[in-house]
Amino acid sequence: MQQFLPLALGLIMFSFLITGILVVPFIDLLYKIKFTRRVEAPKTGKVPLFDKLHDKKAGTPVGGGVLIIAVVSLLFAFVFPISRHLGVFIQTAYSLRVELFVIFFTFISFGLLGLLDDYKKMLGKPTRGVLGLAFGLSRSTKFVLQWILALTVSLIIYFALGIQILHIPILGITLHLGLWYIPFSAFVIVAFTNAFNITDGLDGLASGLLMICLMVFGVIAANNIDTPLSLFIALWIGSLIAFLYFNTYPARIWLGDTGALSFGATLAVIGLLTGNLIALLIIGGIFVIEIASSVIQILGWKILKRPIFKLAPLHHTFLAIGWEEPKIVMRAWLAGIILAIFGLWLATI
């Protein structure tokens, strides 16, 4: 730990510096290629409440996820071999190659799926949707592709890494799921992918919550002496901090689905690799609450034929009733910090 901590802190600062240098010209590039949010409200008829709240942000560049994924992946490919040659103690409970493959396959493949969706949203032709214009991949197509990727990751985790247990802290129960671990872990990955995606609706909200989660999982990974995962998280935190400077209200750049799908899925995989899935549900509790509010809203429409919330997910309800966007984000961060502390406590007992 004494050897690793200075390295991890140094990597956070190094990644922050590199991303900070690249982000402004990257924003300029996105403006140049017109990779920006478009007005989504229909040109005629009633304007949906969601579009009234968000179409004022049209023109903001989308693609921060591309920059972060590229910087973190390239820096890891550069730093990790050097660290080993310099004598840094590399330890993991799993096969090193397989663990790194799982991490970066998730990080990059879900990012590519999000990039395809972003490309169709920004540069493709819109279609007529239920509540106005629809942009990007259809929900069904995106959902099926998410499940294919998630099942692929889950199969590797189960067969190549041998993970198939679910530990429930406090109760001291450890469940051996066997083959059922594959669909279970795939569900967790898909759920967190979509939870992060729907949370990424206000400037700085999802990115700030993710930074809090990663700091906690950095501690957990270091405590587990999982060196590659710890280094990956350190680089990710540094890049995310630099991005967040430009993503806070009013945002100059957004993650887009490239970052949202990648980061949600990778956060779930980190929870699975560290064996702290229950803690993940607490540490990432705001993401869980956000997707739960959307599910409740859907059930309200289907069963009661009316909405439960003014607008879903939950942060949109607060926005719709008049809360200022920065206030919603700051209070979500504070709640996220408390949940993260509680989740870390669960992971250590």
- Binding-site positions for Mg(2+) read 197, 257
Contact present, 234 and 11 (Cβ < 8 Å): yes
Residues making up the binding site: 197, 257
Tokens standing for 93? 């409970």
The DSSP secondary structure of 17-72, one letter per residue, reads HHHHHHHHHHHHHHHHTT-B----S-SSSPPPHHHHHHGGGTT-BB-HHHHHHHHH
The C-alpha torsion from 294 through 206 and 123 to 67, rounded to 10°, is -150
List Cα–Cα distances, 256 to 13, 112, 222, in angstroms: 24, 11, 30
The DSSP secondary structure of 214-267, one letter per residue, reads HHHHHHHHHHTT-HHHHHHHHHHHHHHHHHHHHHSSSPS-B-HHHHHHHHHHHH
For residue 307, say if its preceding peptide bond is cis, omega within 30 degrees of 0.
no
User: For the chain, how many residues are written?
Assistant: 349
Contact present, 102 and 273 (Cβ < 8 Å): yes
Contact present, 210 and 263 (Cβ < 8 Å): yes
Q: How many angstroms separate the most distant Cα atoms in the chain?
A: 66
